[in-house]
């Protein structure tokens, strides 16, 4: 671990970020153009004391989880994130692990979209980041672990997930999930992560086995779907998907397809998240 170099790198990256880039107000009384240590701590979900010790070269070796949180908070590029891991004495995470950190540019786009629901997903449908509007629309799915982090796995193994989709659309949605996974499996031939996910789905779901055997292939680009939201009712949403050049991550943007949906979405944004009743089902986004 290169403590002095790590401390210098983190301090310079913090000082180089404008508050507006991470959704914070600058204010006339700020003494620095960059972020404060307490702001980095808040964004990364760690203590201010630990951020101070990192920047002073007095910390213990940070875990890969903490490094990932710092990389997101500081909006590091892929190269900067890899450098961060090296300075902390860790090997950079393998390709599939790096993909679980949403790209800094996509995070910025989430913020710029404001009240338009948007999510960043991996090519296997793991939700990596959401803006506030997306959380209100679909629930927060960024903290899931194991196979539950994949939308396709929840769809085929948790009946409650399908309940937010109208019955007449469920077969079509299921086919879309499987065709998209089939496309990812083709691109990542021999990847144990993909092969293991497919094997576990085949073992867990007869419906998945049936659709997988049909060998349909289709990458999700644009779509229109109906969401049955527990608080504001039926929503007809247009879904536009932007894919990164390496096809490892995608930005999913959801916009109202009609005036009634627009009004209901505006109501949801006003109501906020605090009033969700305990146990209320939420919608699952389609990757």
User: What is the model's pLDDT at position 277?
Assistant: 42
Residue 143 has pLDDT above 80, yes or no: no
Residue 133 has pLDDT above 50, yes or no: yes
Residue 40 has pLDDT above 80, yes or no: yes
User: What is the model's pLDDT at position 276?
Assistant: 44
pTM score: 0.64
137 vs 96, which has greater pLDDT? 137
247 vs 172, which has greater pLDDT? 172
* Lowest-pLDDT range of 39-43, 110-114, 210-214, 219-223: 219-223
Closest C-alpha among 185, 128, 118 to residue 151: 128
């Amino acid at each position: 671990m290169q403590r002095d170099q790590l401390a210098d790198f983190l301090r310079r990256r913090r000082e180089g970020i404008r508050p507006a880039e991470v959704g914070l107000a600058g204010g006339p009384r700020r003494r620095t153009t960059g972020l404060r240590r307490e702001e980095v701590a808040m964004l990364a979900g760690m203590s201010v004391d630990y951020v101070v010790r990192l920047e002073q070269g007095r910390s213990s070796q940070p875990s890969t989880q903490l490094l990932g949180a710092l990389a997101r908070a500081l909006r590091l590029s892929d190269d900067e994130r890899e450098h961060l891991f090296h300075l902390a004495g860790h090997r950079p995470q393998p390709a599939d692990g790096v993909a679980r950190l949403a790209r800094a540019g996509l995070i910025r786009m989430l913020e710029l979209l404001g009240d338009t629901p948007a999510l960043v997903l991996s090519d296997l449908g793991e939700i990596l980041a959401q803006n506030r509007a997306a959380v209100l629309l679909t629930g927060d799915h960024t903290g899931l672990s194991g196979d539950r982090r994949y939308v396709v796995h929840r769809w085929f193994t948790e009946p409650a997930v399908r309940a937010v989709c109208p019955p007449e659309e469920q077969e079509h949605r299921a086919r879309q999930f499987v065709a998209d996974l089939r496309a990812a499996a083709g691109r990542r031939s021999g990847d144990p992560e993909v092969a293991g996910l497919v094997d576990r789905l085949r073992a867990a779901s007869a419906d998945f086995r049936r659709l997988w055997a049909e060998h349909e292939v289709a990458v999700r680009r644009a779509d229109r779907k109906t969401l049955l939201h527990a608080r504001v009712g039926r929503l007809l949403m247009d879904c536009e998907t932007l894919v990164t050049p390496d096809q490892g991550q995608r930005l999913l943007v959801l916009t109202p397809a009609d005036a009634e949906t627009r009004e209901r979405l505006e109501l949801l944004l006003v109501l906020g998240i605090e009033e969700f009743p305990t146990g209320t089902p939420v919608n699952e986004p389609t990757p």
